[in-house]
Chains A and B, each alone.
Chain A
Amino acid sequence: MGAIREAFDFSDFPLVERIGFGIFCLFLLAFPWLGMDSFGMAVMIQFLLFSLFGMGWNTIGGYGGQVELGKAQYVGIGAYTVAVLMVRWDIPYWFSMPLGVLIALGYSFLIGYPLFRLKGHYFAIATIATSLVLQDIFINWNFVGAAKGIELPIKGNTFLYMQFTNDTYYYYFILAYFLAGVLYMNWFRKSKLGYQLRMIKIDEEAAESLGIDARWCKIKAYAIASAFVAVGGSFIAVYNLYIDPESVMHLELSIMIALMAMLGGAASLWGPIIGAAILVPLDRYLGSWLGGHKELMGVDFMIYAAIIMFIAAFEPRGIWGIVERYRGRRT
């Protein structure tokens, strides 16, 4: 019970932030009635999805300070578990999604154990390497559709398989995940593990000398991050109804996840949400605008890259870091 109360307890935030978040939640709940077109709806779903990914990354990447660039492999595990089980054995979403999360957890412990012997750049490159290995395996694995990908059977409107013909259902579906994610992260940042991770980030040796098992803490945070991302992956499977290694396991997806959290402000509750709120609409609207200009191909990614370089060079704490510096306080 205590944990649930903690999760709903936002009282340590300033009043402005609490009111702001409350209004934002009302806006999210009312959004489908604001008369947006289907493109706006798709952008909003994408935004909520990437906020969820970013929040997951934030546990290990933000609070733990480990540069993790292999999150796409867990998106893939979550998405493929749902898709393969539904195609092969007609298994409902609500059974395959938890299974996918369990597989992601198991896999994250399996590779997290050797992975967290590493630090810094060794770690970052190794996360990319493991993600690429898994992608290679899926590209060549016929059982899961290899490079062609896998198409989900159309079921019509059903809550059992979580398939709908109307995007509004999908919107509330991902919104529920998003809100659950926010509540979980609100609990997480005040949990023992959350404090341990921040200590490890500041000074790992000091943390160890206080009796914190740094490697075990990182493995746990990595597993939590992986579970978050796998849930998001399972949503992609039923939302897109088609997945392939290129779309759910690509390196660029991993980069986007890390980038959104970094841009908004790592190690803060609002950071990943702010990052996604900026980058997802930028990505979609820029993409649709550039789609009509073939000679400008690649410009959208150049713009992101410029943003990444700028943030990294001048404000590594992200947009939320700028806000907090402006306010002159640190949390």
Chain B
Amino acid sequence: MVLADAFIQGILMGFLFALISLGLTIIFGVMDIVNFAHGEFLMLGMYTAYCLSISLGVDPLVTLPLCGAVGALLGLVSYYGLVRYLLRGPMVAQLLGTFGLMLFLRYLAVFLWGIDYRMIKKGLLVGKSLTIGPFHLDMTKVVCALLSLVAFTVVSWIIFKTRVGKALRATSINREAASYMGIKTERMNALAWAMGGITVGIAGGLLANFYYIYPMVGLLFVMIAFATVALGGFGSIKGAFFAGILIGILETVFPIIGHLLKTSIIGPHYKMTIVYLAYFLVVVFRPRGLFGWEQ
């Protein structure tokens, strides 16, 4: 029973993980660059939802479009201000560059808001719960999971069904060939960063509904996103979706198993360890993930 409950919680978190990882995988797919600052984009999305809902006195869910806009702006500024220059350098420079961006945004948040943990306490859904049969679920989590599912579907629709999406995918498959076909690959890079920013900004706005908001929150989720993207296959959108759910289940069910077996060796304090280990095992033993291309 406890296990089934954890399972459902895991799936709900999984939808959100999938949305967080979506941006990372799009950016990686299009330009082969890992954005270490992805978690910090998420963190800033959370702060956006927090500040707006406090200062305007509205429900945090109303602020979602603005969270997306902030994310998009972050993505574009990062691309035009930094990443464009990093692309000319060696891979070492690309890694350290986005790493620097991560540190910068994190300590910008420390500077602006301090290191206190914050939480949104007011809102239409905060504190309400949904009862389906024997399961009691947090209303906020259910709604957030559903909204992430919607956002994920919309973005995948854009990528798979529209003309722009086709150009984006062409760029990610073969940059040179795409540019011969008249696709402006430079603009596709910017688009990838903007889309990555929007999705993760919205994910941040959703997460802010039920998670603590603090400047260091990014590291936790960026590691989850790395594990998710690695598991699903770098650059794969379908992979990000299923791997997100899998990681969500892993993260919630694992501590319960320790509880059921009455050992303290497996417990909630190791729930992140299991995510890191999952990443490590996947990249070592199946580097292309579940749905990635054979390299």
Report yes or no: A129 in contact with B96, Cβ–Cβ below 8 A. no
Contact partners of A302 in chain B: CB under 8 A = 103-104, 107-108, 111
Q: Which of B92, B107, B283 is in CB contact (< 8 Å) with A67?
A: B92
Q: Is A126 an interface residue (CB 8 A)?
A: yes
A219 to chain B, nearest CB (A): 14
Stretch of A12-20, A277-285, A292-300 with 4 or more beta carbons under 8 angstroms from chain B: A292-300
Report yes or no: A251 in contact with B103, Cβ–Cβ below 8 A. no
Contact partners of B227 in chain A: CB under 8 A = 129
Tell me the B258-286 residues at the A interface (CB within 8 Å). 269-270, 272-273, 276-277, 279-280, 283-284
B36 to chain A, nearest CB (A): 9
Stretch of A132-140, A241-249, A268-276 with 4 or more beta carbons under 8 angstroms from chain B: A132-140
CB-CB nearest in chain B for A296: B111
Q: Is A330 an interface residue (CB 8 A)?
A: no
Contact partners of A130 in chain B: CB under 8 A = 276, 280
Tell me the A272-331 residues at the B interface (CB within 8 Å). 296-302, 304-309, 311-314, 316
Interface string of A27-59 (1 = CB under 8 A from B): 000000000000000000000000000000000
Q: Which of B86, B91, B106, B226 is in CB contact (< 8 Å) with A313?
A: B86
Contact partners of A129 in chain B: CB under 8 A = 223, 226-227, 276-277, 279-280
Q: Is B101 an interface residue (CB 8 A)?
A: yes
Contact partners of B101 in chain A: CB under 8 A = 305, 309
Contact partners of B48 in chain A: CB under 8 A = none
Report yes or no: A125 in contact with B89, Cβ–Cβ below 8 A. no
Q: Is A255 an interface residue (CB 8 A)?
A: yes
Stretch of A73-81, A115-123, A156-164, A203-211 with 4 or more beta carbons under 8 angstroms from chain B: A115-123
Q: Is B97 an interface residue (CB 8 A)?
A: yes
Q: Is A262 an interface residue (CB 8 A)?
A: yes
Number of interface residues of B (CB under 8 A): 44
Chain A residues touching B, majority SS = helix
B177 to chain A, nearest CB (A): 23
Q: How far is the CA of A305 from the CA of B96 in the complex (A)?
A: 10
Interface string of A105-131 (1 = CB under 8 A from B): 000000000110110111011101110
Q: Is B82 an interface residue (CB 8 A)?
A: yes
Q: How far is the CA of A140 from the CA of B283 in the complex (A)?
A: 26
Report yes or no: A308 in contact with B97, Cβ–Cβ below 8 A. yes
A117-B111 in contact given A67-B95, A129-B223, A259-B96 (Cβ < 8 Å): no
Q: How far is the CA of A308 from the CA of B100 in the complex (A)?
A: 5
Q: How far is the CA of A208 from the CA of B138 in the complex (A)?
A: 56
Q: Is B219 an interface residue (CB 8 A)?
A: yes
Report yes or no: B111 in contact with A313, Cβ–Cβ below 8 A. no
Report yes or no: B273 in contact with A137, Cβ–Cβ below 8 A. yes
Q: Is A225 an interface residue (CB 8 A)?
A: no
Contact partners of B94 in chain A: CB under 8 A = 312
Q: How far is the CA of A132 from the CA of B278 in the complex (A)?
A: 13
Q: How far is the CA of A117 from the CA of B269 in the complex (A)?
A: 29
Interface string of B60-88 (1 = CB under 8 A from A): 00000000000000000000001001100
Q: Identify 24 residue pairs between A and B in the complex whose beta-carbon atoms are under 8 Å apart, listed by A's number.
A: A69-B99, A121-B95, A122-B283, A124-B95, A126-B283, A126-B284, A132-B223, A133-B280, A136-B276, A139-B269, A255-B103, A297-B110, A298-B109, A298-B111, A300-B107, A301-B110, A304-B100, A304-B103, A306-B100, A306-B104, A308-B97, A308-B100, A312-B93, A313-B82
Extra inter-chain contacts (7) besides given A126-B279, A130-B280, CB under 8 Å: A122-B283, A133-B273, A136-B270, A305-B103, A305-B104, A307-B100, A313-B85
Leading 5 A-B pairs by shortest Cβ distance:
A308-B100, A298-B110, A305-B104, A312-B97, A316-B93
Interface residues of chain B, those whose CB is within 8 Å of chain A, are 34, 82, 85-86, 89-97, 99-104, 106-111, 114-115, 215, 219, 223, 226-227, 230, 269-270, 272-273, 276-277, 279-280, 283-284, 287
